[in-house]
Structure 1
Amino acid sequence: MLSVDDLEAGYGRARVLFGVGLAVEPGQLVCVMGRNGVGKTTLLNTIMGVIPATGGTVTFEGHDVTKMKPHERVKLGMGYVPQGHETFPQLSVLGNLLVTLEASGNPQSALDEALDVFPRLKPLLKRRAGFLSGGQQQQLAIARALVTKPKLLILDEPTEGIQPSIIIEIEEAIETLHASGIAVLLVEQYLDLAMRLADRYLILDGGHVVHAGTAADLQGEEARKLLAV
């Protein structure tokens, strides 16, 4: 479904990614891991076109999307939830979802399906997003991506800074989406959570893929050393 080959990207003259490659098959959950500052967020931003690739290719369902704009990739079925619980703070929960629904052109049922994944949001539809807790904002950010009915959902550290009870709900939601057939590319720092969720994983270090394999391989000492702070 998603194929990333020899991807290079950076900021100005500073290169961050050096020939990164990965693949996500239909219905598969792939977890990207690594210490802080090794290029995980840059990788996701480049896959989504937020940052231009300076080398390599990104292919989605047979389409070369390397030079496409982010909204064009969304139209093809790529959904993205950036790091940081991003919402439109002055809009209500419902307003956040309706803006995305209108832009996607999907029917009302897409909004209803997204709220079914996060029922905690239903009684909060009239509340401004800026007054939600961090965990509620993260649920809204994911729900907003789901309104686009993605075939591939890309999540950048969805549990960062979230209270434990909401982490459990987000993990359960990701499991549900994965079981429904949506492919997921997930950046996650919690090793135990990654082991529970992932089919495959890769570890970045210094902008390079230094380790990759199945979730069972994450129990190996080599993988744990690469993730140690």
Structure 2
Amino acid sequence: MLSVQGLESGYGRARVLFGISLSVEPGELVCVMGRNGVGKTTLLDTVMGVLPATAGMVAFAGEDVTRLPSHRRVALGMAYVPQGHATFPQLSVLGNLLVTLEACRGPREALEEALETFPRLKPLLKRSAGFLSGGQQQQLAIARALVTRPRLLILDEPTEGIQPSIVIEIEEAIERLHASGMAVLLVEQYLELALRLADRFLILDAGHVVHSGTAADLRQEETRRLLAV
């Protein structure tokens, strides 16, 4: 589904990623972990085309997308929920979903499916997104991505700074999406959540992959040491 080979990227002259390689198979959930500032968000931004790759290749469903703009990657079946509960605050919940639906020319059923994933949003459709709680905004951000009916969902720390009750709802939603066959690339700091959800993981440090394995390997002391602050 997703193949990243020798990826390098950064900001101006500051290189952040140094030859990152990873893969996500169809229906697989891969978790990217690591301390703050090691390049996790830069990796997702580059995979999605928000940042240009300076070396290496990103392929999706067998097609080289390294030089494609983000909207072309979305059209192919990639969807990205960046860190920070990104919504259009001046629009209603429904407006946020419709903007995405119209942009991708999707069927109305896709909107209904997204709302089924996050039923908490249904009574809030007329409320401005800017007046939602942080957890509700995050649910809306993920629902907007789901409106595109992606084959690969990319999530950057979707549970960061969110009240525990909604963390549980988001985790359950990710689990259902994964069980339905959707591939997921997830950046997550919460080790216990990664243990419950991930098929495989990789750990970044200073822009390099320093450890990878199956979910069972996350229980190893070496893994926990690499994630310690």
Query: After the TM superposition, which residues 31-180 of structure 1 pair with which residues of structure 2 at under 5 Å, given as runs?
Result: 31-180=31-180
Give the Cα separation in 2 of the matches to 1:179 and 1:138.
Answer: 21
For 1:26, the equivalent position in structure 2 comes to 26
C-alpha deviation, 1:164, in angstroms: 0.3
Give the Cα separation in 1 of the matches to 2:39 and 2:115.
Answer: 32
Structure 2's unaligned 5+ residue stretches are none
Give the Cα separation in 1 of the matches to 2:162 and 2:21.
Answer: 30
Number of residue pairs matched by the alignment:
229
**What is the letter of the counterpart of residue 35 of structure 1?**
R
For 1:227, the equivalent position in structure 2 comes to 227
**SS of equivalent to 1:90:** coil
For 1:203, the equivalent position in structure 2 comes to 203
C-alpha deviation, 1:13, in angstroms: 0.4
**What is the letter of the counterpart of residue 117 of structure 2?**
V
C-alpha deviation, 1:123, in angstroms: 0.1
Structure 1's unaligned 5+ residue stretches are none
C-alpha deviation, 1:88, in angstroms: 0.1
C-alpha deviation, 1:194, in angstroms: 0.1
Give the Cα separation in 2 of the matches to 1:69 and 1:28.
Answer: 24
**What is the letter of the counterpart of residue 50 of structure 1?**
V
**SS of equivalent to 2:154:** strand
For 2:212, the equivalent position in structure 1 comes to 212
**What is the letter of the counterpart of residue 54 of structure 2?**
T
- TM-score, reference length from structure 1: 1.00
- Runs of 4+ off more than 2 Å: none
**SS of equivalent to 1:98:** helix
Give the Cα separation in 2 of the matches to 1:161 and 1:66.
Answer: 32
For 2:14, the equivalent position in structure 1 comes to 14
**How big is each residue's C-alpha offset from its partner over 1:151-205, in whole Å with a ceiling of 9 and x where there is no partner?**
0000000000000000000000000000010000000000000000000000000
C-alpha deviation, 1:23, in angstroms: 0.2
- TM-score, reference length from structure 2: 1.00
**What is the letter of the counterpart of residue 186 of structure 2?**
L
